[in-house]
Copies of this chain bind each other. A is one copy, B any other.
Amino acid sequence: MKRKMTIQEIARLAGVSKATVSRVLNNKGGVSPETRRKVEEVIRLYSYTPNLVARGLSLKRTSSIGLIVAHTAERLSSHLFFIEFLRGISAVLDERGFRLVLATAESEDRYETSCRSMAEGGVVDGAVVLGVRRNDKRLRYFLRAGIPVVTVGRPIGFPRVDYVDVDNRGGARMATEYLLRLGHGEVLLINGPADHTASLAREKGYRAAFKAMKREVDTDLIVYGDFSFESGYETVRRFLAKGKTPSAVFAASDLAAMGAITAFKEVGIRVGSEVSVIGFDDIPYAHFFDPPLTTVRQPIYEMGKEAGRILLLRLEGGTGPERLHKVFPTQLVVRESTI
């Protein structure tokens, strides 16, 4: 294992100065073809790679961007969201030679300091914040440090921050209307947390569907959970225990929908014939669940790509001050859990 070469040594070996080697490395002009060839030869010979940390210090950019995932990203739904999103964003970032740096943590305060040092330590040129919250502290760090940020989900309270989002309201409305049109009298909404942006938007969509069909919303049928399998399962169990059997369920996540279906199955109620259940997300398992799940699909991969694109635009182009954002449409994927 030979010691790591520096630009100085390459310069000496090629009989030129550091400056010239640097020019060759970065394909700058002002180097004679002959010198260039000679330097390239030496670089190849010693298979030299420049030190990116030193370059980063000098250029004040590191070609890496931070991926900030909610510290509560323990839930499976977030997992699958995360992985899809990751695939999307890295697809566009890799193309431009950007690296991804993760900020995750077990405890809340460690997470904070980790974000802060990432924001202010100059380790990343930009950041993507997942699971953004109202008045998000992490977001604040990046903004204060003057680092471009794209959030996933519309960042409430930050009117100038770029974001990508999905049409939660429209998707929820579409799903609910579909159920109402199917002739279901009541639709149980198993929502996410009440303070979650996406939950709120989905509830709005649910209400909008009722309004459009000139029907009254029964607030007893709106329940808040946490997107988890368990929250779907428990909610339905509770309803059944009270002797109420909703004829249709719209769950704000596929996982919760699966939980609901499992609860129905346990008491012998057949989903897809006796009751209808719709989920949200279209996670990869949805299509081979039993019964295959009707759900509202989010284009997560595409959202990842778009987040990457917006960030690159901010970093490379001198785009104006106007907010960049893109809201993706959802799509109702009808399978066999609805009738």
Contact = CB atoms under 8 A, between A and B. Distances in A.
Contacts of A122: 4, 51-54
Contacts of A53: 53, 56-57, 62, 121-123
Interface string A130-148: 0000000000000111100
A289 B262 CA distance: 9
A229 B105 CA distance: 32
Interface string A89-122: 0110011010111111110001100101110111
B49 A120 contact: yes
A226 interface: no
A102 B85 CA distance: 14
Interface stretch (A76-84, A176-184, A204-212, A326-334): A76-84
A52 B82 CA distance: 27
A116 to B, nearest CB: 7
A302 interface: no
Contacts of A241: none
B265 A121 contact: no
Contacts of A51: 57, 121-122
A285 interface: yes
A211 to B, nearest CB: 35
A267 B31 CA distance: 72
Interface string A218-249: 00000000000100000000000000000000
Interface centre among A54, A79, A94, A259 (most CB of B within 10 A): A94
A146 B1 CA distance: 7
Given A1-B146, A83-B83, A123-B53, A104 B100 contact: yes
Contacts of A105: 90, 94
B99 A100 contact: no
A111 B97 CA distance: 10
B229 A49 contact: no
B76 A284 contact: yes
A117 B98 CA distance: 11
A196 B80 CA distance: 25
Nearest to A98: B114
A35 interface: no
16 contacts: A51-B57, A52-B121, A53-B123, A54-B57, A74-B87, A82-B83, A83-B83, A90-B104, A91-B106, A94-B111, A94-B114, A95-B106, A97-B114, A99-B123, A101-B102, A285-B285
Q: List the 5 closest pairs (A to B, CB-CB), nearest first.
A: A52-B121, A49-B120, A100-B102, A290-B290, A90-B104
Given A52-B117, A94-B110, A285-B285, 12 more contacts: A1-B144, A52-B121, A52-B123, A53-B62, A57-B57, A64-B101, A90-B104, A90-B105, A94-B104, A97-B114, A99-B114, A102-B102
